[in-house]
Structure 1
Amino acid sequence: MHFISSAMASFCLETTVEDAMQTVRDAGFDSLDFPLSVYSRPQDAPLRGDNWRQWARGVRRTADRIGLPITQAHASWEQAIPDDLHYESPYEIYERTMEACAILGCRQLIFHPVLYLHRMPDRSLWPRIHDWNVRWFHELLPLAEKFDIVINLENTFDYRHLQQPGDAPVPYTTAQDMLELVYGIGSNRVQLCLDTGHAHISGQDVPEMIRAWRGNLATLHLNDNYGLIRPVFEDLHLFPGYGTLEWKPIFDALRDIRFRGVLNIEPVVELARMPRAVRIIQLRAAAQTLQVLAEL
């Protein structure tokens, strides 16, 4: 039986860390996707304070007491490739994030590729963007080794709506782009995280992405949505079955590659405005959905 996991990023700032974690546990999940990214911003965030290690140890103690292991976590995602494409090393907050992940007892730390935030009608800039990312993640490898962390690279999408019809795909939206990044970095400390929602928005064949990645696939974000619906923000993080993704082929593909990792969702932002009791009801339905889909 797979572990089933939920993120809490969408509602954790509405309450205490402990209550947010307990909410996930009360809803029936047996592990947690912890949002280090949320707790690294703004400037007064816990990971930026002088006592950040003490804070992380407190989170770990809470997780142990509640019985909710942290099986994956999200790194900060603050950097973008500069307009002129000059190189900038990872900010100091990334080292804190990686050490905090280790303190939490978690090995799978999810990163977004560093993006160039301008329209790219063709692939002419792809080699420079690719080399920039390979160099950037290479700088993180000694920290991954030091803290025994596996860097999980997550597929992205055109969240700023920069591309026009007929343009080339945004870098790091396709299975091949993500594999080339893994191979370019060239380390067993680097694997892949599949966000099904991002793939759906980008018009990708999700089951085929799973099969293409096979042994490189380490973590999942099993999010649903309605695909590309400009001009709104499409990354709705709906529970499986609430959008237009076909879930049986996705789970068939996971079975075909013998995926043994955690089945994880990232619940919708709207949970933040709901009373705690209603939040638990909605999350419990999502947990039961994951369990049934896995069994089927």
Structure 2
Amino acid sequence: MQATPTRRRFIGISAAATGLALLPFGAAAVPAEAVRWRGRALGAAAELIVHHPDRAQAKRLVARAAGEIARLENVFSLYRPDSALSTLNRQGALAAPPAELVEVLEVSRTVWTLSGGAFDPTIQPLWLAYADHFAAPGADPAGPSPEIIERALAIVGLDKVAFNRDRIAFSRPGMALTLNGIAQGFITDRIVELLRAGGVTSTLADVGEIRALGRRPDGSPWQVGIAGSGERIDLVDRAIATSSASGFRFGGTTGPGHILDPRSGLGECLHESVSVLAPEAATADALATAFCLMETARIEALLPSLPGVEVRLS
């Protein structure tokens, strides 16, 4: 497997003044009746805090959630050669694709359309062009040459992907998808719905992105903070995702940002940090990436058409 930097965006969420991840501000510890799970999802740290009147049932649900995360890894992982996504990227087409892969592409197409192409999961060839460039000794700190970027952009564009429940196919050789800008949110949503179906009414899930189900058992909202801003956000039945160019830069701290614009091919975010609150984590995840590359006026013009979505820009 080729060693390349992860494309996962910097989340930028600090959930507790105590330093304990995902705890409400001021809390000293997770209550004893809660069941807590920590693991990984698509290379990111993941955590669940589940409250249920039957502790044994809570443990069973957490085990089911861990199994579901592992199953979805085999759909969306770029680094597992046998995953559905890796198979699609290698072959250029995939018959009878997993339903979840098609669903994520449908959400991606919606965000791709409303953002004017700022969010585009076909950006993987451009990402690899940057990664390969900066892996070479003496790489130009400005990034790949215009010619290399132009070649990569020729095979970027979600309009070049045909998909339905029976088949996914690329229209040009060399195309590839990365779903790191939406899959974490999608998995988070799936886990929250799994827990809800099992009778859970109070949980905070971080499976790459953060989503709250209900309130804390004491009736107060779950609360997270946006790193670097000091702002505290109440979460009740909604999700939050943050994108920041400072999460990773090619070639060091002064190199191009890792959030690459699929329209220009450049790694230049228009905002230092973008946090999006939305009813679903997949939506928050994709919009946070798109809004990094969109002017404030354009973002503000879109918000009335996005019920339940709020944005924090810095």
Compute the TM-score of the two structures, normalised by the length of structure 1. 0.31
Q: Which has the higher helix share?
A: 1
Q: Which has the higher strand share?
A: 2
Larger Rg: 2
